[in-house]
Structure 1
Amino acid sequence: MPPTRRLRTEPIVRVRTGCLTCRRRKKKCDESRPACAGCVRNKLSCSWPIHIPGAGSGSGASTAVQPSAPDLRPSTVANLSDEASFSSDSPSSAAGPDQPSSPVSVALANNESASLVPMGYSHPSPRHTTSALDLPSSFAVGNVMPRSLSMLPGYSSESYQLLSHYLATTADCMANGSTPINPFLVQIVPLAFTSDLLLQLVLTQSAAHRAFRCRNDSDEIAHSHYTKALQLFRREVTEFIDGKESNPLMLTVGALVMCFTETAKGDMNGTIFDHLSAANSLLTRLLSMSDAAVPKDLKDFVIEYYTYTAAVSMISIDARVSPQLLLNFDLEQRARELLQSEYVGNLCGCWMELLLLIPCIFDLGRQWMMHDGQPTMPTADDIAMFGSLQSQILRWSPYTFVTPEVFLAGRIFQQALLLYLYTALSSFSRSESGMYRGLMDTAITEAMSYLNQLSATARINSGLCWPIAVVGSCLSDPTQRDDLRQRLNTMVSTFGLGNMQRTLLLLEHMWETPLDEAGPWNICRAMEQNQIWISFA
């Protein structure tokens, strides 16, 4: 018989000392000042309760004042300065030799290390402007009660500035405005306030976006946050692999946020493909969870997020030598289920059906191309598949209830997809006897006509890098090339997204090559030749 357990008679005394950061993390604090060992070890900002003279009991313990939370609603934050500079004591660090180029690929590859990819910017940093977030971390009210401005213990005022920029600018630039509800706000932000990992990734995305907008190639804050995000993400992935964490939600969303961080900063090293690979494996497990564990709206957005990013990234893969497909059958079926409800999203607009045809065209084109780049004769099955894909593209039409801008963007994608299909028939040729030359010329003319009807400053342009790259790779007319050049420059100035500038850079290289070496199936070759590895997400 088990021994009788003695009932506890003395009260449970909970320690109320220690820094606020350790309290929030529910970790034991050694109470070393000014920074405890736990915060130093985890590279966190160590903040302490403020002692109020005359307050507290006879024990002499300091009393913590509840922080005063600033109003960070989008409507309020939008009025704050995007370009407020950070204090000189803001933590920053350069990547050391032990920093991974991708936290996921490193964790999955026996922790092999690589250096941090530098962020490529070219213009001076902005002038300092004062905002509400430039206030010190605490101030006295009537010389009586000092109050802390920190809503997030462990995060400095620098984090408020980045959160402000995300809410006011970055989230709007990431979404294309197809719907009035922005999931980068209503889905990502609430999640970020429940996860240290996701909050750090959101701040990193904001820092990268702000740095590119400012053309600041020495932005230490952006570098520091990017380094910290990789370290934290690597640790979380390692714990997930070791079975210490069973919920893949934060990691999946985190991997996708990292994809768009690369989009924002204009990475040219292909780091986004590492994040996509991680998201692929995590997403399958996430989608198996019930709607009670993961709300349906969030699942739908994650499916759209991955489908869009994976589909437009496939053009960066050389179909002649790679069997890789970023969108597997199960994930494709999940996306097709959304189509049954006439889904319109802030990444895929109303053209998700067209995006799901990209892997089909990629697979068909790969079968027609030999490893040495020479075309092979298509079989009867290939011809039948070609006809089916062409029919599906031509039959597609934007939903009647979408806005005119979304309608135009859908038509632009449609013409770009036709070009992608037509140029898969053989090596790209625009000669008089070239196969489907007339159809290709018509698709180019239609695409440029739709683009000319759409303002380059409309939010919908944030999702048009893929069709612009496809159409641009087929252009031979100097006037049409200049039209695209001006559009992309305007887009870069308006949205400040690095992938837009990299798209123009890649097209400039392609326009210098002979026409028979151009076309969408040679985009990956141009990337290899010029060492520009990008996604068009």
Structure 2
Amino acid sequence: MEGAVMRHMLPCSTLLVSHNNLLTTVDEHCACFIAEQYMFIHVVNHYFGLDSNGSTSHFLDLSSYYHDRSSSCAHALFEMIPRIATFARRATETYPRHLDPGIIEEFHTIEQEILSWEVPEPVDTRTYAWPAPDKDEITAALFTQMALIITLQCALNGPGIPKPYIKRQVDASLCEANLLLKQISSSSMAWAMLLWPLAHIGSCITSQTEQEDYVSMILGIEDKVRGCAVSISVLVRLWEAAREDERYYGPFGIQEFMKREQITPCMG
């Protein structure tokens, strides 16, 4: 499920949260780097797509070590991803899923938390202060926020093409996300944090014209973030599969497609 780096980060991160005073006994830069990298890679590896039958992956609480450099200012948004995945797996007492009172209540609770997110203040520590996020980093975080909303909307519906009223909400969110993506400079390093949101938003695009525009924007990245390019190659194949079978639509479709093609996320 993960590469060699991740195998070293897990025990290091476990050590960080097991001792409350580690920030005073180890190099702070190193501790925060390990914590943020673990959080980012863990989320991308274990929550890539939605699985209605999967098991919840353990997620360490490393929030006290975040200095906003791995997932930029969007680390609080990344922390919400496992919760959405758990919501997607929640069993319903009534059918269909999107009409279940308990599901609806939890959906609105999570949705409100996502929409309430604001760009955090720059971190000021004992020895240094990270600079405030730049315009591209903020836009990338807003794009991530839209990815969470879209993924949550799909989780409300369940696998397959969403019911018409949910599909309209998803399509409206896709339009907003597309406008945000066009605002990010092709030379910005903010693209490096967009692997998860690019895949989840892209999985819901059904228009071939919009799919082609999406690919062009991502392939136009000047620094050629390899992870984004790889995700695009998977998305293109996913779109082809979704045209033949709607169960490959959206975040649930990502998991179904990866199982069919025996693709395993491997980051770090």
Sort the TM-score into its range (normalised by shorter chain).
0.7 to 0.9
Q: Counterpart of 1:520?
A: 251
- Deviation of 1:390 (Å): 0.1
Alpha-carbon separation, structure 1, partners of 2:235 and 2:173: 18
1:305 aligns with 2:28: no
Alpha-carbon separation, structure 2, partners of 1:536 and 1:485: 21
Q: Deviations over 1:283-338 (max 9, x none)?
A: 212443533431233222211111111122233376233213141xxx22x31x35
1:405 aligns with 2:133: no
1:434 aligns with 2:151: no
Which of 82, 89, 98 is matched with 1:359 structurally? Answer: 82
Query: Would the aligned equivalents of 1:368 and 1:378 in 2 still touch at CA under 8 Å?
Result: no
1:472 aligns with 2:202: yes
Which of 424, 439, 451 is matched with 2:155 structurally? Answer: 424
Classify the secondary structure of the residue corresponding to 1:444. helix
Query: Would the aligned equivalents of 1:457 and 1:494 in 2 still touch at CA under 8 Å?
Result: yes
Alpha-carbon separation, structure 1, partners of 2:89 and 2:56: 10
Alpha-carbon separation, structure 2, partners of 1:275 and 1:324: 22
Alpha-carbon separation, structure 1, partners of 2:239 and 2:216: 15
Classify the secondary structure of the residue corresponding to 1:456. coil
- Deviation of 1:535 (Å): 4.6
> So what's the TM-score if we normalise by structure 1?
0.43
> So what's the TM-score if we normalise by structure 2?
0.82
- Deviation of 1:477 (Å): 1.8
Classify the secondary structure of the residue corresponding to 1:512. helix
Report matched runs for 1:323-472 at 5 Å: 323-327=55-59, 331-332=60-61, 334-335=62-63, 337-338=64-65, 343-345=67-69, 347-368=70-91, 376=97, 380-399=101-120, 401-430=132-161, 433-472=163-202
Classify the secondary structure of the residue corresponding to 1:494. coil
Q: Residues 535, 473 of structure 1: CA spacing in aligned structure 2 closer, same or farther, 3 A cutoff?
A: farther
Q: Counterpart of 1:76?
A: none
Q: Counterpart of 1:495?
A: 224
Alpha-carbon separation, structure 2, partners of 1:456 and 1:408: 13
1:504 aligns with 2:232: yes
Report matched runs for 1:97-136 at 5 Å: none
1:321 aligns with 2:45: no
Say how many residue pairs are matched.
252
Q: Counterpart of 1:280?
A: 10
Alpha-carbon separation, structure 1, partners of 2:49 and 2:115: 25
Q: Deviations over 1:35-86 (max 9, x none)?
A: xxxxxxxxxxxxxxxxxxxxxxxxxxxxxxxxxxxxxxxxxxxxxxxxxxxx
Coordinate RMSD, CA, aligned: 2.8
Alpha-carbon separation, structure 2, partners of 1:416 and 1:436: 15
Structure 1 residue runs without a partner (length 5+): 1-269
- Deviation of 1:440 (Å): 0.9
Alpha-carbon separation, structure 1, partners of 2:77 and 2:13: 22
- Deviation of 1:396 (Å): 1.2
Q: Residues 496, 318 of structure 1: CA spacing in aligned structure 2 closer, same or farther, 3 A cutoff?
A: closer
Q: State the one-letter code of the partner of 1:352.
A: H
Q: Residues 292, 393 of structure 1: CA spacing in aligned structure 2 closer, same or farther, 3 A cutoff?
A: closer
Structure 2 residue runs without a partner (length 5+): 122-131
Q: Counterpart of 1:532?
A: 263
Q: Deviations over 1:163-208 (max 9, x none)?
A: xxxxxxxxxxxxxxxxxxxxxxxxxxxxxxxxxxxxxxxxxxxxxx
- Deviation of 1:509 (Å): 1.0
Alpha-carbon separation, structure 2, partners of 1:354 and 1:512: 30
- Deviation of 1:424 (Å): 0.3
Classify the secondary structure of the residue corresponding to 1:350. helix
- Deviation of 1:461 (Å): 0.8
- Deviation of 1:357 (Å): 0.5
Q: Counterpart of 2:26?
A: 294
Report matched runs for 1:201-240 at 5 Å: none
Q: State the one-letter code of the partner of 2:167.
A: R
Alpha-carbon separation, structure 2, partners of 1:510 and 1:397: 33
- Deviation of 1:277 (Å): 5.5
